[in-house]
Amino acid sequence: MNDEMSYIELIAHASVVVQIVMLILLVASIMSWTFIFNKLKLLKQTSHIADEFEQEFWSGIELSELYRKLTADDIEAEGIEKLFLAGYKEFSRMHQKNQVPAEIKIASAQKAMEIELSREMERLEENLPFLATVGSTSPYIGLFGTVWGIMTAFRALGNVKQATLAHVAPGIAEALIATAIGLFAAIPAVIAYNRFSARLDNLSGRYEMFIDEFTVLLQRQVYN
């Protein structure tokens, strides 16, 4: 308890600039953790939807029946389902035009899925730049607070006839807390950013593979 109170007292007696730096880093850390938990939930849900959809897609169900099921009023398509809907809708629209060559129908459906893929990845990558920013800048912000605090501590020694460690130690301790908070904000943000980036790369590859596989199925429908 004494140690905890000592840290609180150090923060309370820090200079205004150092306190502002600590506040900025604390807010950044809270926002980072909020984004991290939300992103974990989103990616877990997205992967679960992809697993269930692919299981049903390869179960032998008719594509038209699957399309009607996903476009029902009580169902909101998500993730990989949107790719299927975009591709099948465009293919059906083009397929009704008999004069359109088969290659154009396939290419049009594939393009529609690729556009939907871009939109989906943009949605999933939301807030990742913020995590990257926090991870890269927080240590420097904390270092700025530390440097400022140390400068303030040494300037205060000018009014002391005999400088001792007892005079400068509290000021330096106050300043070093800013660096600690900066690292506390940066490390989780960097780890989360790298982990999410890897998972999104895998998910993007999975979506692209589905687009290729679905395109092959559409080609079989056209040429058979």
List all residues 6 or more positions away from 198 whose beta carbon is below 8 Å from its beta carbon: none
Tell me the pLDDT tens digit for each residue of 4-20. Answer: 446 677 677 677 888 89
Contact 175, 147 (CB under 8 A): yes
Residue 128 within a domain? yes
Residue 101 within a domain? yes
Residue 210 within a domain? yes
Contact 207, 80 (CB under 8 A): yes
Percentage of the residues of the chain whose pLDDT score is greater than 90: 53
Mean pLDDT lowest among 42-56, 140-154, 188-202: 140-154
Tell me the pLDDT tens digit for each residue of 75-110. Answer: 788 899 999 999 999 998 887 877 778 888 899 999
Q: Give the pLDDT confidence score for residue 160 in this predicted structure.
A: 59
Q: Give the pLDDT confidence score for residue 4 in this predicted structure.
A: 46
CA distance 220 to 17: 68
Domain extent at residue 155: 2-49+60-223
Residue 55 within a domain? no
AA letter at 86: A
**What is the count of structural domains for the chain?**
1
Contact 79, 51 (CB under 8 A): no
Q: What angle do CA 75, 80, 84 make, to 5 degrees?
A: 80
Arithmetic mean of pLDDT over the chain? 86
Residue 114 within a domain? yes
Residue 54 within a domain? no
AA letter at 30: I
Q: How confident is the model at residue 41 (pLDDT cuts 50, 70, 90)?
A: very high
Tell me the pLDDT tens digit for each residue of 187-201. Answer: 999 999 999 999 999
pTM: 0.82
Q: Give the pLDDT confidence score for residue 5 in this predicted structure.
A: 45
